[in-house]
Amino acid sequence: MNIWDAIVVGAGPAGCAAAYDLAAAGHSVLLLDKSDFPRIKACAGGVTQKAQKALRYPITPVIRQTISRIAVERNAHTSATIKRRSPVCYMTVREELDSYCLKQTLARGARFERIGAITAIEPSADSVSIYIDGRALHARFLIGADGVHSRVRQLTSAATWFARGFAIEANIPATDTAAQDLVFDFEAVHHGYGWLFPKGDHINIGLYTEDGAEKLDRTRLSKYVQKRFGTAEMEHVVGQYAGFGAEDATPDHARIFLTGDAGGFVDRLSGEGIYGAIVSGQAAAEAIHRDLLGEGPAQAFFANATAKLRDDLRISTSAARWFYGNLDMGFRALTAPILRSAVLDSFGNGTGLASLARTAKRFVNMFAT
């Protein structure tokens, strides 16, 4: 029986991050996905500085635009621009980004295979068997990186901790977006925001909410586009759920790990998931690598390697509840001169989230009194 060191289900940022590191370490890796690449993927495609730094290779070939200014809006009369000299994030098209990352991963030595439906997953003491289209594949470890509707999670975890948000987006043709800021509009959606992401030849526009009860659909997006641009014309309208809850999750199996959206590693406050996908994928790879070297159980290594990320998500979840529940005060805190640079550092570079939360709390307490 052929046994892979690891099988990774899902070839997006989380799956490729895991497969890349495992292959680079000399392990046999089979990367599975239900789609051929390139494939359309609903995602605003903003890659933060911290996400770009976490990757093992530059993404220069797929960057459409570099952003150093963010405009935040509370309503038609209240807005602010937050800027810095260095980039905050890089605009990409997810179809292009994912295809590029997959090519880098395959060049590192991982093997890719398109699959149909996964019908069963059977873990044992020393391996995991995954059944697809009437055949069985076997590995020492399995990584679920197959998105918010993860089949790996459905078959292996009760996942009572898991929750979902939703986003819908479209593209608006544009001849030149160089002068266009990245925009977050907090009036547009309850417990979320509208966004405008400039990408060279088009603007990506969308609506995001972390509230599962908020209804976002094509009609609502069309009205928002009409409001912003005076036209309801849209291209490539797609919707996508976001996976939350990693801060409260623990691995259910010693040889199966959930990463990215499948593991709930999306930031509730910002809706950003690429960074969490990359870091959780790399953490799973590190845990498996160290176990295969005989250093100890992968389950413990994975918990340790994702501890800071989970702590940050826990802080972000609390911040989202406060911010969206107290939007006027939250917007003042977000745009206060004392906090602006810290906000950008947290969003773009991933630095000092706990410190930012403490500073914001002091500001709010001072403002309240």
Mean pLDDT value of segment 71-76 = 86
Q: Give CA 202 to chain center in angstroms.
A: 22
> What's the pLDDT at 367?
47
Between 111 and 323, the higher pLDDT residue:
111
DSSP 319: H
Q: Evaluate if pTM is beyond 0.95.
A: no
Say yes or no to pLDDT of 78 above 70: yes
Using CB atoms within 10 A of its CB, is residue 136 exposed (0-12), middle (13-18) or buried (19+)?
Answer: exposed
Token pair recorded at residue 193: 């925001």
> What's the pLDDT at 21?
98
> What's the pLDDT at 349?
62
Residues in Cβ contact with 1 at an 8 Å cutoff, skipping those fewer than 6 apart: 138
Domains and CATH numbers, the chain: 3-314 (3.50.50.60), 326-368 (no CATH)
For residue 10, is it left (φ>0), alpha (ψ between -120 and 50) or beta?
A: left
Please tell me the least confidently modeled range out of 47-51, 148-152, 230-234.
230-234
Is the Cβ–Cβ distance between 285 and 301 less than 8 Å? no
In terms of Cα–Cα distance, which of 31, 44, 161 is closest to 109? 31
Residues in Cβ contact with 222 at an 8 Å cutoff, skipping those fewer than 6 apart: 232, 234
Pairing of strands 89-91, 111-114: unpaired
> What's the pLDDT at 259?
98
Q: Give CA 43 to chain center in angstroms.
A: 9
Residue 233 and residue 226: Cα distance in Å, rounded?
Answer: 8
Secondary-structure percent of the chain, ordered helix, strand, coil, rounded to 5:
40, 30, 35
pLDDT digits (tens, 9 = 90+) for 161-215: 999 999 999 999 887 776 678 899 999 999 999 999 999 889 999 999 999 888 9
Mean pLDDT value of segment 294-316 = 94
Say yes or no to pLDDT of 50 above 50: yes
In terms of Cα–Cα distance, which of 39, 33, 26 is closest to 7? 33
Q: Give CA 110 to chain center in angstroms.
A: 22
Between 113 and 363, the higher pLDDT residue:
113
Is the Cβ–Cβ distance between 27 and 65 less than 8 Å? no
pLDDT digits (tens, 9 = 90+) for 330-342: 888 778 776 666 6
> What's the pLDDT at 369?
46
